[in-house]
Amino acid sequence: MNDNDIMSMTPAELREYMVSAGEAPYRAGQVFSWIHRGAFPEEMTNLPGSLREKLASGGYRMPRILTRQDSKDGETSKYLLSLIDGECVEAVLMRHDYGTSLCISSQVGCRMGCAFCASTRAGRVRDLLPSEMIGQVAAVSRDAGERVDKIVIMGIGEPLDNYDNVTRFLRLLNEKDGLGIGLRNVSLSTCGLVPEIKKLAREGLPVTLPVSLHAFSDEKRRELMPVARKYSIDSLMEACRYYFEQTGRRVSFEYTLISGKNDSPEDARGLAALLKEKMRYPSHVNLILLNEVKETGLRRPDRARAARFAKMLNGMGQNATVRRSLGGDIDGACGQLRRAREADRAAEENFTKE
Ligand code: SAH
């Protein structure tokens, strides 16, 4: 954390920081609530001009919205946000009947290397700071003029590969003078970093944990996810049971259906058997239709096949649903927007070099 990264500070840290900068302690509470709402310094009308100037000139780094795309049905808005160093990340706002959720990024790029994913193709550039995750929520919520009810950490990056910043972000998110989002309304999706899952289980942060499984055997999983070479499915299942035992939060599994790779009836049977034997607690499987990323050559099965897969799982007593795909008409998923922008930038650079 940078010394003056005020949006990453807890209320107590911010108070100390403000006092050491010669401000009255009560100012810290005012500043905290303004910045977590994504206000611009000139709008902070209860603060003296000198303090507003200080905020404007350093330390307060709201991500800037570069583009916003709205799906035709009005349910989804996808944002490309620029960070202080010009890197960018994506966030997607989804309006459901039961409330509004925001899917945010946890890293610039990703080093997990999953075969089907766009975000990992160019590796990881850097971790996001807590302020840059809070900033995504504050900036989007402000732009949309909507309160965000639920947070899903399922955008670019592997959140448990940025453990300290992500757990600090979760605590900040929960602050009553800030965004005040209950951690039960937060889902943290992981590709399955076993030691970090166990560590998270002991943090006292009751977030829901979707685990990306995508295959029922180690052999198949290793083909799709390099992380499976490091942690076996057995050890992952043990960590998931531990998570449930410690937090009481139900674990769910993400399973992206990829044509000819993991979408056969044997795969469904293998998955149901695995969860019955190894997970043992009730769990839910979210089936996702692959969002095709051209360079990977991987294809999505059709909806009917996905529905059959879900039916088989349910028939074997394993709860499963096919996730409705939101935002399909706006590159709605998985790092595709950032990739497109990176490509544009590269093209621009080449152009100017010539
Ligand atoms: N790194 C975390 C969170 C980000 S990915 C994780 O792995 O869970 C969020 C989800 O989207 C994961 O389940 C991931 O496997 C899935 N995903 C990534 N690329 C995808 C694609 N092209 N199509 C469908 N799902 C994808």
Model pTM? 0.93
Checking if the pLDDT of 354 tops 50, the result is no
173-187 per-position pLDDT tens digit: 999 999 999 999 999
- State the pLDDT at residue 20: 94
SS3 124: strand
Checking if the pLDDT of 8 tops 70, the result is yes
28 and 173 part of one domain: no
Among residues 57, 72, 94, the one where a domain terminates is 57
309-324 per-position pLDDT tens digit: 999 999 999 999 998 7
- State the pLDDT at residue 351: 43
136 and 40 part of one domain: no
81 and 225 part of one domain: yes
Which residue range(s) make up the domain with 228? 64-353
| Closest residue to atom 10 of ligand 1, CA basis | 154
SS3 67: strand
44 and 69 part of one domain: no
The rounded distance, in Å, linking the Cα atoms of 191 and 160 is 9
Whether the CB of 117 sits within 6 Å of ligand 1: yes
Q: What are phi and psi of 93, to 5 degrees?
A: -95, 130
100 and 15 part of one domain: no
Distance 304 CA to ligand 1 centre (A): 21
Q: Domain with 40 in it: what CATH number?
A: 1.10.150.530
C-alpha closest to that of 112 among 160, 152, 166: 160
Give 10's contacts (C-beta < 8 A, 6+ positions apart).
Answer: 171, 172, 175
The rounded distance, in Å, linking the Cα atoms of 194 and 237 is 9
Ligand 1: which of 114, 152, 336 to mutate, most ligand atoms within 8 Å of CB? 114
The rounded distance, in Å, linking the Cα atoms of 342 and 218 is 34
The rounded distance, in Å, linking the Cα atoms of 75 and 175 is 28
Whether the CB of 158 sits within 6 Å of ligand 1: yes
The rounded distance, in Å, linking the Cα atoms of 101 and 269 is 32
Give a yes or no: residue 72 inside a domain.
yes
The rounded distance, in Å, linking the Cα atoms of 189 and 185 is 13
Give a yes or no: residue 1 inside a domain.
no
| Closest residue to atom 13 of ligand 1, CA basis | 212
State the pLDDT confidence band at 303, using cuts at 50, 70 and 90.
very high
Checking if the pLDDT of 271 tops 60, the result is yes
Q: What is the mean pLDDT of residues 285-300?
A: 93
Q: Domain with 132 in it: what CATH number?
A: 3.20.20.70
Distance 26 CA to ligand 1 centre (A): 43
191-204 per-position pLDDT tens digit: 999 999 999 999 99
Whether the CB of 267 sits within 6 Å of ligand 1: no
Q: Which residues pair with 94 in a beta bridge?
A: 76, 101
Give a yes or no: residue 241 inside a domain.
yes
CB 128 within 8 A of CB 237: no
Q: Which helix (H) or strand (E) holds 176?
A: none
- State the pLDDT at residue 352: 41
CB 232 within 8 A of CB 274: no
CB 196 within 8 A of CB 190: yes
Q: Which residues pair with 93 in a beta bridge?
A: 77, 102
Domain count, the chain: 2
93-145 per-position pLDDT tens digit: 999 888 999 999 999 999 999 999 999 999 999 999 999 999 999 999 999 99
Distance 117 CA to ligand 1 centre (A): 6
120 and 162 part of one domain: yes
Checking if the pLDDT of 84 tops 70, the result is yes
124 and 45 part of one domain: no
| Closest residue to atom 17 of ligand 1, CA basis | 117
Bigger pLDDT: 294 vs 159: 159
